[in-house]
Amino acid sequence: MRVAVLSGGRSSEHEISLLSAEAVAEGLEAAGHDVTRILIEKSGTWITDGHPVGIRPGEGLEVDGDLLSLDVVFPVLHGPFGEDGVTQGALDTAGLPYAGSDVLASAVCMDKLTLKRLCGFHGIPQVGFVQAFTPGWKEEALALDFPLWVKPSRLGSSVGISKVTDPGQLEAAVEEAAGFDPRVIIEANSAGREIECSVLGNEDPDASLPGEILTDDEWYDYEAKYTEGRTRIAAPAELDEATTAAVRELAAQVFTMAGCSGLARCDFFVEQIEGSESRVLLNEINTIPGFTRTSVYAKLWEATGMPYPDLCNRLVELALERHQSESQHSF
């Protein structure tokens, strides 16, 4: 098939997107597809081979007045203006099938506050949280289990996150996060292991074997994530059979609850409680996770038995399946 891979974007995760997107493009080519690489510059301009790319509503993407011949688009964009539904809306306007979640699911999962409230409605286990700048937020936050984690609600890659170990640090941490996003979330601490699970599918998704993030750093921040050698991934994680099954089941459940499609990576805390029993808490969902061959999402599918080119190919198939299904509805 003829696949356009979108990379770059306007967010602080632009460079990470470039790495992920090139790996996806090579994986698609290895699977036999014809790939067109489209870069979204930090200014927001879309270009391919040095030429601006435009959107022709209802018809597709165009270059120099000519429509690009495409079967599907594969967005590999992280953060705002790429993972939050904005680009998905542009592709819907163009009438093109695309890999991954639609506008609503992308927006919901990008906003940690909205996702956690949805999870709370459905009874999904998670750590306590408070939205900053709401009535009584300081008192509620100080009642949570320390240390606290203060985060911009709609960013990724641990950008703008602070660990608060003393009540006197709270306001400064909130102000720092607010410099990135006016919506700020304050979360209670979990001493659990950081376990991640990759999900693949549409209405009836499959969940990979879980993996564990192992780092020598104090916490899994931006440097730990993207500096070679600072973080290791145990794939699969050393979990007992019951906990492994619980993580996979909850990942598929959350994926469906949030309305995701195509792919997502679900991040959990696994806490040890009395005896040998474990408790699994949802941390967050990433609808376009890091996607290099060595990223967690792909490594977990490889550990589950799906090679990287097959994974890329399956996501293109899922994109077409969802587009064909939605095209049957009358709006």
Instruction: Retrieve residue 244's tokens.
Output: 């492994």
CA 274, 275, 281 angle in degrees (round to 5)? 55
Contact 82, 91 (CB under 8 A): no
Q: Which residue has the tokens 């994986």?
A: 27
Cα-based angle 192, 244, 303 (whole degrees, multiple of 5): 105
Beta bridge partners of 213: 233
Q: Which amino acid is at 301?
A: W
Q: Which residues are catalytic?
A: 13, 157, 226, 265, 267, 284, 286, 290
- Size (the chain), residues: 331
Provide φ and ψ at 13, rounded to 5°. -100, 20
Please state whether 205 falls in left (phi above 0), alpha (psi between -120 and 50) or beta. Answer: beta
Strand partners, 164: 148
